Amino acid sequence: LPFPRVPALSAARVPLSAGWLPALQFVRRGSKAVTRHWKAMHFQRQKLMAVTEYLAPRPAVPPRCLARRRETLEEDNGYAQLLRRQVEEVFRDNRMIAICQFNSMPGEDVVLMRHYLRKHNIEVKFVLNEIVRPVLSQSKYKNLLPLFVARNILLVSREAKAKEMLRVLRGVPQINLLGACIDDTILSKQGVENFAKLPLLETVQGQTVGALTLLPSQTSSLLQRGSAHLTALLDQHIHRLQAGETGSPAEPAPAQSSGAQ
Amino acid sequence: KKMASKIRVVLRPVKSIVVRFCPFESNVESTRKFLGCINHKKIQATNRNCEVTADVRHDGSEPLVDVMFADGERLIMKGANLTTIEMLTALGSRCNAKELKEEQKSKKSP
């Protein structure tokens, strides 16, 4: 009860006499009925207000003791659906998708890094975990799920230029490469570094072709080796005979050697 | 409750921090968030010389935070069962203790 002050109003019993007079006559003391300050209620009114105070209805069992009703899932708003579609598109179109942890970086550094990566045709995409996680869990990239915790960015590209990407990322200490998915193969950071160390496809192809043609190129010389050896031996023999018998005619010997060929 | 990014740590007595984790494991969330919070502008501004390195491996090892202080002390926090806030408050309290010690030393010496 507010303000236990002396009420300004008091009721006085007036003795009943001829002529009707109200049983209770209010005597005004001090302030009027309507005041600018809070006026204490008459004691009877105070009692009435106290008795008729509102008591909220409480259930017999508190709701937290009962089993919780499963809340229906809220429908996704269009923005979330759009972002999800974009993520699916990204995973479909690009050959190389690298996932990096993004720690806060000054804005100019971000722009510079984007610029350098754009030169190598690599795009930088900021992603939200709650959108990427459901998309990944339904696609075939389930093993990438544990990577999407805390702030992440995706570096996507149609070509797999791992070496250039690593070079740019080395210059930015606040971005840590976690893993990548190149040509539908999930690689860790070490795997990406190994992949970058591999020589270009054309060089490797050239090396394979060279190794394959090495043996056949030697076949013809291998086959002719026997007869060439024999010719050389016979020539040497002729020379020795000629040197030994200077006077005798050398015709039967060369005729024999040419017949033997 | 308290947000991890609101905790301010003074990194002045710290020489270097190495955060090692394996992102394909499932217990690295708090360590990664710890790394993200440490790299915040305001905390980095307290000590420009402190090097924060992130070591990303794939050998199934535990997430680890290795803090090297300027007076040679080392703090190793294994983040597998710790939350981000716990790690930050632990580091923060140790840094504050060292700051107080240094202040007392500098007051006593002249």
> How many residues are given for chain A?
261
Q: Label each residue of B66-102 as H, E or C.
A: EEEECCCCEEEEEHHHCCHHHHHHHHHHHHHHHHHHH
Give domain limits for chain B: 14-107
Residues A7, B101: Cα–Cα separation, whole Å: 65
Contact (CB<8Å) B23/A179? yes
CA distance A8 to chain B (A): 50
Average pLDDT over residues A139-166: 84
Edge-first strand order for the sheet with B74-78 is: B51-56, B14-21, B64-69, B74-78
* Percent residues over pLDDT 90 in chain A: 13
Structural domain that includes position A192? 78-197
- Taking an 8 Å cut-off on Cβ atoms, the answer to whether B39 and A174 are in contact is yes
CB atoms within 10 A of CB B88: 24
- C-alpha–C-alpha distance, residues A9 and A1, integer Å: 17
The band of B25, judged by pLDDT with boundaries at 50, 70 and 90, is confident
Model pLDDT for residues B63-83, shown as the tens digit of each residue: 888 889 888 889 888 888 888
**Residue to test with chain B: of A141, A145, A152, A189, most B Cβ within 10 A:** A189
Which member of B32, B40, B52 has the closest CB to residue A149? B32
Residues B14 and B101: beta-carbon distance below 8 Å: no
Domain-embedded: residue A192: yes
In-domain check, residue A49? no
Q: Which of B30, B39, B50, B51 has the most A C-beta neighbours within 10 Å, making it the best mutation to test the interface with A?
A: B39
- B44: helix, coil or strand? helix
How does pLDDT run across B36-71, given as a tens digit for each residue?
888 888 888 888 888 888 888 887 777 888 889 888
Q: What is the CATH number of the domain that holds A87?
A: 3.30.70.1730
Confidence (pLDDT) at B109: 85
Q: Nearest CA to A98 among A20, A155, A14, A38?
A: A155
Give the ipTM. Answer: 0.81
A195: phi then psi, degrees, rounded to nearest 5? -60, -40
The full length of chain B comes to 110
Distance from CA of A74 to the nearest CA of B (A): 26
Q: How many domains does chain A have?
A: 1
Query: What's the confidence (pLDDT) of residue A44?
Result: 94
Residues A40-68 pLDDT 10s: 889 999 999 999 999 999 888 888 887 77
Q: In the predicted model, what is the mean pLDDT of residues A132-148?
A: 83
Q: Which residues of B touch A104 (CB under 8 A)?
A: 36, 39-41
> Quick one: tokens of A97?
């998708």
**Average pLDDT over chain B, rounded to an integer:** 85
Task: pLDDT band for A22, please (50, 70, 90 cuts).
Answer: low
Q: In this structure, is residue A231 part of a structural domain?
A: no
pLDDT over 80 (residue A111) = yes
Topology of domain B14-107, CATH: Glutaredoxin (3.40.30)
Q: What is the pLDDT of residues A201-245, one digit of tens each?
A: 778 888 888 888 888 888 888 888 999 999 999 999 999 999 988
Q: How confident is the model at residue A255 (pLDDT cuts 50, 70, 90)?
A: very low
**Is pLDDT at A200 greater than 90 in this prediction?**
no
pLDDT band, very low/low/confident/very high, at A189 (cuts 50, 70, 90): confident
Whether B32 and chain A come into contact, CB under 8 Å, resolves to yes
Say what the pLDDT of residue A51 is: 95
> To the nearest whole angstrom, how far is the Cα of A85 from the nearest Cα of chain B?
25
Return the pLDDT at A249: 54
As a whole number of angstroms, the distance between CA A101 and CA A150 comes to 8
Question: Touching check for A176 and chain B: CB below 8 Å?
Answer: yes
Cα separation of A129 and A153, whole Å?
Answer: 10
Residue A188 confidence (pLDDT) above 60: yes
- The chain-wide mean pLDDT, for chain A, equals 81
Cα(B18)–Cα(A189) distance, integer angstroms: 17
Q: Which residues on B lie below 8 Å from A178 (Cβ)?
A: 23, 56
